[in-house]
A and B are shown apart, each in its own frame.
Chain A
Amino acid sequence: MTLRRRFIPYALLTPGALWLIIFFLIPMYFMGEMALRSGALETGGFTFTWEWSNFSEALDGRGEQIVRTFFYTGTATVLALLIAYPLAYAIALKAGRWKLLLLFAVIAPFFTTYLIRTIAWKTILADPSPVVDLLKTLQVVPEDGRVLATGGDVIAGLTYNFMPFMILPIYASLERIDLSLIEAAKDLYASAREAFLRVTLPLTAPGIVAGVLLTFIPAFGDYVNAALLGGTNQAMIGNKIQSLYLVERDYPEAAALSFLMMAAVLITVLIYIRLAGTEAFMGDEDEED
């Protein structure tokens, strides 16, 4: 009986674990192997030759594209945070009985197709449109300027499309705050600003850290926004990987570039956790129960 009991969790786990190992983990190995192959599709395909030059070739002449990817993704992540935090704050702490409905209203747009949402932004930011006219009146966009195919629209699209990943973790961390702590801070003569900076903000730091990661990672690999909203000079690394795999069919170089992208994401995430993470996660542990 005990032996059978010990066997149960593995039985429950096996189908899912196998699926993930075979179709997620092992493919990562094959992507690495592909990155070291050489040859051409026309001349009998690619063979494994430890072709390390694929990596330098993948980076060659792509400096601008890489910097642009970091810039777009970073800006979009910061903007998403600036929009999401006050919104989540208002919903979690000020909305009362409307809380669920408002949260639902915020998330609902993301149940329409991602591509159509992005195309909708094309409609909104097209010239002429009320939004662009307003931006021109406010002198954000020059009188003879435009928004589409400038990069600003790609950032806007990225910010919008990954917003739920920012809102939900922040909302969850705000929801969990013990309001009596904020009351206590005020009883101890903290101003609203101080109470926010010293109590609310540190307590929601784990939500912010999670939100930033969950926004940055998918946005970094995105190519839909740049493809639909950007022009030829707004391509991100994702666009290149996509075209190398599906159009040029230079699989080794494509795999090498994908690998480098994953490495870039991993390193950025690790640095970020180093800088922001430890403190943020500590706060969480202290306050649990």
Chain B
Amino acid sequence: MEAATTTAPRVRAGAGARAWKWLREHALNIYAGLALAYMLIPIVVIAVFSFGETPRDRLNFAINDGFTLEYWENAFSITELTDAMLTSIELAALSTVISTVIGTLMALALVRYRFIGRRGSNLLIVLPMATPEIVIGAALLSMLIIYNISLGFQTLLIAHVMFSISFVVVVVRSRLIGFDRSLEEAAADLGATPVESFRYVTLPLLAPGVMAAALLAFALSIDDFVISNFNSGTTETFPLYIFGVQLRGIPVQVNVLATMLFLVTVVAIMLVLWQQRRAERMASVRPEPVV
């Protein structure tokens, strides 16, 4: 629909016609620009309101009062909030490590081996991604209730690893499919043991994919609300804390921490992208180009 605007237009006189022509030619870019703005506005709002002066130190949804650094200086002054954030980080870190290791192993099995049950395994990996989160959370809670298992950090960890695995497998698998096996064969020809060739060839080339998967797992875990809400018991993570206080009024520090978290994630993604490019350049150095 938008591509139609790139038609070479007939030349016509008149300023109105020229403006119309310009508009037609750039319609796609203008539309894309507006869409981009739409995607970014909430981030700007979050960041701006972290500097907003408000009477009760709670976010109020109006652009009025002054600018202040107060909430950035006292970012960690609300104990409950800071604790929730620390719980979230601990949970995300553990869940990332477990799901990345488990998921990478699964991806290796699925890409490198033909075996009975491969289709079934693929299905098992796709299913959690095709199920609404609320159903995943509700099902797990049903089982935990039936077995009288108390809810808390452990059940959160179980749930977070569970919903992260599929995403890790998908990311690592896409990396493995484009993997040049001849490099490993070359290592073997040069006398490397299987362990050595895995350590010095496979792992470095796989690293960016694994890093990307780990980052995704971390982001999924630290952001999860729906499934956590079902399986947390009294343990409070960052999103759960926000949901809890949102009726009473959200402390401005929430926006400060959210902005910090955003900046840290952006830097982490930049690093992964940069590393990925480097690895691609490394991998592309070889005597024969592979078609």
Contacts and interface: CB of A to CB of B under 8 A. Distances in A.
Nearest to A125: B61
Contacts of B46: 112, 116-117, 120
B115 A10 contact: yes
Classify the interface of chain B: helix, strand, loop or mixed: helix
Contacts of B59: 119, 123
Contacts of A115: 225, 239, 242-243, 246
B223 A114 contact: yes
A212 interface: no
B4 A112 contact: no
A120 B118 CA distance: 44
Interface stretch (A52-60, A237-245, A280-288): A237-245
Nearest to B265: A111
Contacts of A213: 130
Q: How large is the interface on B (under 10, 10 to 19, 20 to 34, 35 or more residues)?
A: 35 or more
A245 B105 contact: no
A222 interface: yes
Contacts of B132: 217-218, 220-222, 238, 261-262, 265
B159 A23 contact: yes
Contact of B106 (A12, A83, A124): A12
Contacts of B62: 126, 128-129
Interface string B239-250: 100110010001
Interface string A183-203: 000000001110110001000
Interface residues of A, number: 84
A23 B261 CA distance: 29
B229 interface: yes
B142 interface: yes
B103 interface: yes
A120 B45 contact: yes
B86 interface: no
Nearest to B5: A192
Interface of A: 6, 8-10, 12-13, 15-17, 19-21, 23-28, 30-31, 33-34, 83-87, 89-91, 94, 100, 102, 104-106, 108-109, 111-117, 119-124, 126, 128-129, 160, 163, 191-193, 195-196, 200, 213, 217-218, 220-224, 228, 238, 241-242, 245-246, 251, 254-255, 258, 261-262, 265, 269
Given A109-B43, A213-B130, A241-B134, 8 more contacts: A9-B118, A87-B36, A89-B32, A117-B42, A117-B46, A246-B230, A262-B132, A262-B135
28 contacts: A6-B115, A12-B106, A16-B103, A19-B161, A20-B162, A24-B162, A27-B140, A27-B142, A30-B146, A31-B142, A86-B31, A87-B36, A94-B29, A104-B269, A104-B273, A105-B36, A106-B36, A112-B259, A113-B222, A113-B261, A115-B239, A115-B243, A123-B61, A196-B4, A221-B133, A255-B142, A261-B135, A269-B130
